Amino acid sequence: FDRGLEHSGASRRSAPCRSHNSNTPTPRVFSLGVPVDQVVNGHDLAATFGDNSFDLVMCFDTLEHDDKFWITVQEMKRILKPGGYLFIGVPSRNCPLHGHPDDYWRFMESGVKKVIFNGFEDVYIDVQWDNPAHAAEDEIYGWGRKPL
């Protein structure tokens, strides 16, 4: 989900981002065209797609850029069909700031479980430490199933 550039006043421009296994910035452009079919504000998912529309919703490296991420989380849950899966990836304490245009949040394991996957079943959380010498976790990945 490309949350909110059209509402933030920021231009759609290449934004450097770092791949999980590299310190080399890679330009990334979010705009319509291959492979992007539609750009939607995460706060408007249900209005755009309707409730219970998807078997799978995936959101990686996005929620930290959302000033009200909990609205996007609720919208993702709304568009997910009963029995469908939500997959997420969020930065944790050791992930550096990377504002494109802004960077608001870092997530902890208990917050991912109790806030993002609240009410879900079969929840799995994987806390990533990219370097064992790091004093804190780098990223958190997880998935869970919306109850039938």
The pLDDT tens digits for 21-33 are: 344 444 455 566 6
pLDDT at residue 4, as a whole number: 39
Q: What distance in Å separates the CA atoms of residue 116 and residue 71, rounded to the nearest whole number?
A: 10
pLDDT band at 142 (very low <50, low <70, confident <90, very high): very high
- Asked if residue 101 has a cis previous peptide bond (ω within 30° of 0), the answer is yes
Burial 99-120 (b: 16+ CB within 10 A, else e): eeeeeeebbbeeebbeebbeeb
Measured CA distances, 28 to 12, 68, 140 (Å): 10, 23, 22
Q: What distance in Å separates the CA atoms of residue 41 and residue 25, rounded to the nearest whole number?
A: 25
pLDDT digits (tens, 9 = 90+) for 47-105: 999 999 999 999 999 999 999 999 999 999 999 999 999 999 999 988 888 877 899 99
Residues above pLDDT 90, as percent of the chain:
57
Cβ(88)–Cβ(61) under 8 Å?
no
